[in-house]
Chain A
Amino acid sequence: MTFKLPAIDYLALAPMLVLFGAACAGVLVDALVPREWRYHVQVPLSLVALLASGGFVVALANRKEHVVTAGSAVVIDGPGLFLQGSIVVLGIVALFLVAERRLEPGGAFVAQAAVVAGSEADRKQMRKPGVTEVYPMMLFALAGMMLFCSANDLLTMFVALEVFSLPLYLLCALARRRRLLSQEAAVKYFLLGAFASAFFLYGVAMIYGYAGKVDFRGINEAVLGSSNSKTLLLIGLAMLAIGLLFKVAAVPFHVWTPDVYQGAPTPITAFMAACTKVAAFGGLLRVLYVAFERSSWDFRPTLGVIAAATMIVGAVLAVTQTDIKRLLAYSSVANAGYLLTGTLSMNRDGLKYTMFYLVAYGFTVLAAFAIVMLVRDSDGEATHLARWAGLGRRSPVFASLFTFLMLAFAGIPLTSGFTAKFGVFAAAVGGNMTWLVIIGVLSSMILAFPYLRVVVLMWLSVPGDDTPTVSVPGAFTAAALFVGVAMTLVLGVAPNQALELVNDAGAFLR
């Protein structure tokens, strides 16, 4: 029996292949290069790989030719390319945070994760440089995310889901300080993530039972004309949604978020908040818009309730938080709700503004976590909110920047948060989901409270003896902070170019 390898458009796959290749090279670097040189090789290698990958994305976008390649496993279309591009750009900014070594001797990562936390050996390695396997792991995760956004069938999507999840589980466990918390976060994320993956896979099996196919186009045709019982479709869709909603941290699948966000090293938290969100929503958008568009009457009410619950629970629980990282985690949950609102409008605007929201939120959240990294005392980052009191008088510049970011989260005009929120809400009204918009606006008002509380705490309190200092950022963090804040401002004041970009991206290819 003979068969031919399907035609593979290597240029279309190049953005991902570059990252996979660089990640493998990174693993080799860790094996072969002397220890003191590894950091100096890994960081440029990752950066060059990401830039090259971004270059290929731009080249593909200019080619304006939408292709289905690798035996219909991967589809390169406008929205897919836009999402891939945003993952690369946000990934570069996150890489800056990961590469930062000025704030703390050795960086935010532990030197040897296997050493028992709190032991004599652990104290000895306190000042040693952190592991450099972080960089290849990050590249693997980014490549997986890009594949997740452009997979054309559920099996490829599942493999991509695992490829980007597994490195994230690992990265969560590598914090230099508060190591037990970090390890606990990794175990929690791993166990719950594995559970969610199992749900996803079960859903794929059910969908295959219904449609006889796993590719999105085939499923779309089957939804229209299959004679099989619709129960299978509904069960499959529900299971699939559980797997995807876990990754986007929607209520009630959000419980891992605060613990993992708090326990993971802050650069990784930022990476997850920005890039994982883009990838997860990219996947969700493709599944809902391409494969199941015609059964939107079935899933919109249910997912609408989930979106509403996500917004309300995220906002209300954010009010009660006393830790800045947990506060940002619940804010990320609530933002998942706004993104779901945009997604569920199921029209062209919904797709457009959801993608815009993802990028806008990504930049803002990266900058916010960059500042969280800077506020520190001798014990590392001071994340308790009470410690932030009076920070405005200690270092007005950073407090002003953080205030601006908080206002962006709250959706005040002239920030990207406003443009994005306005966009998704307008799209949802256009898609007959007005009730969801009302809940969205109400929850935004609740959510503004915790943000403004941080602002008030920073500016109107008198700094005490234990008010931490804001460290002078190294070049990397400064760059990340600058890009994040600048993009938040630009996307708020002059969003036209970005909106044009999402508009040009067009619709998903079926």
Chain B
Amino acid sequence: MSTVLALAGEVTTGEAATFYILAPIALIGAIGMVWARNAVHSALFLVLTMLSLGVFYILQAGPFIGMVQIIVYTGAIMMLFLFVLMLIGRDASDSLIETLRGQRTVALLLGIGFAGLLCTGLGRAVGSMTSVGLDEANAAGNTQGIARDLFTKYVFAFEVTSALLITAAVGAMLLAHVEKVKAEKVTQLEMMRARFAPGNYPAPKPGPGVFAATNSVAAPGLLPDRTVAGRSLSALVPTRELTEAEAAPKGTEK
């Protein structure tokens, strides 16, 4: 384990190299996630960023949080997310209509300005800093150190998080679950009764174009004696023929 843990305050060549390879990839993932039109692509870009972050955590002497990032976030949550996307159909793309004119430009400019401000500030602040306390924190092992903090200092916050999980579960059920009322359920028996009830014809309806000269769906089905099967005509589509009154001159022919 100690080989993974970086020494406090020192940046080895390997660490630096890994960082400079993965940092642009993480950034590309983040930007791609926002930019991609397709929701699945967005999710995959996010996976890329999360994996890079996981490696960063391991590099920064936090193997536990790094593995959790990869296993839980990338492995479980994002994959579930992809499942849901695939299930509800991935072609439902949002319409991007600006309701406020120029909103996107302003947002972009403000965003870049904010990022610039933050980066210069952080750059100046972090440059002169030395990290302390890493060795003590990891003295008994990284996972053990986290366990100690979680179950001593932050035990109440840890327990209270369960309230969050209950709320999330109840909330998901509230907003997504429709209860089936018993009366609305149609059983097999009822369906069969309805099928053989008077006023219904149990056999399949004649398909379009049976014994017909065309295979258009608009053509009515013909019975073996070449008369039109009334059942193949839709009751909803009226016959479109001009009546006497409609065909009469309207006085606009000149």
Contacts and interface: CB of A to CB of B under 8 A. Distances in A.
A481 interface: no
Contacts of A174: 174
Interface stretch (B26-34, B164-172, B207-215): B164-172
A229 interface: yes
A224 interface: no
Contacts of A133: 170, 174
A153 B122 CA distance: 23
A44 interface: no
A71 B174 contact: no
Nearest to A151: B157
Select the residue from A113, A115, A173, A174 with max chain B CB neighbours within 10 A. A113
A156 B157 contact: yes
A235 B164 contact: no
Contact of A131 (B133, B147, B163, B174): B174
Interface stretch (B41-49, B80-88, B124-132): B124-132
A260 interface: no
Select the residue from B151, B163, B164 with max chain A CB neighbours within 10 A. B163
Nearest to A158: B157
B124 A229 contact: yes
Interface stretch (A163-171, A340-348, A391-399): A163-171
Given A3-B148, A73-B156, A173 B175 contact: yes
Given A71-B156, A156-B156, A137 B167 contact: yes
Given A3-B151, A4-B152, A13-B156, A159 B178 contact: no
Interface string A158-199: 011011001101100110000000000000000000000000
Interface stretch (A19-27, A271-279, A295-303, A457-465): A19-27
Interface in B118-176: 118, 121-122, 124-126, 128-129, 132-133, 140-141, 144, 147-148, 151-157, 160-161, 163-164, 166-168, 170-171, 174-176
Contacts of A234: 121
Given A115-B178, A166-B171, A6 B153 contact: yes
Nearest to B168: A166
B152 A235 contact: no
Interface in A120-169: 121, 131, 133, 136-137, 140, 143-144, 147, 155-156, 159-160, 162-163, 166-167, 169
B179 interface: yes
Contact of A170 (B122, B126, B155, B167): B167
B121 A231 contact: yes
A137 B132 contact: no
Is the interface on chain B under 10, 10 to 19, 20 to 34, or 35 or more residues?
Answer: 35 or more
Given A160-B160, A170-B175, A73 B154 contact: yes
Interface string B190-224: 00000000000000000000000000000000000
A231 B171 contact: no
Select the residue from B132, B133, B147, B153 with max chain A CB neighbours within 10 A. B153
A323 to B, nearest CB: 20
Interface residues of A, number: 50
Contact of B166 (A131, A140, A173): A140
A71 B166 contact: no
Contacts of B178: 112, 114-115, 121
Given A13-B156, A24-B166, A170-B175, 19 more contacts: A1-B140, A1-B144, A1-B148, A3-B151, A6-B155, A71-B153, A73-B157, A112-B178, A114-B177, A114-B178, A144-B163, A156-B156, A159-B161, A163-B160, A166-B167, A166-B168, A173-B175, A209-B126, A229-B129
Interface of A: 1, 3-6, 8, 13, 20, 23-24, 27, 30, 70-74, 112-115, 121, 131, 133, 136-137, 140, 143-144, 147, 155-156, 159-160, 162-163, 166-167, 169-170, 173-174, 209, 212, 228-229, 231-232, 234-235
11 contacts: A1-B140, A1-B144, A5-B155, A6-B155, A70-B155, A73-B157, A114-B174, A155-B154, A156-B154, A160-B160, A212-B132
Interface of B: 118, 121-122, 124-126, 128-129, 132-133, 140-141, 144, 147-148, 151-157, 160-161, 163-164, 166-168, 170-171, 174-179
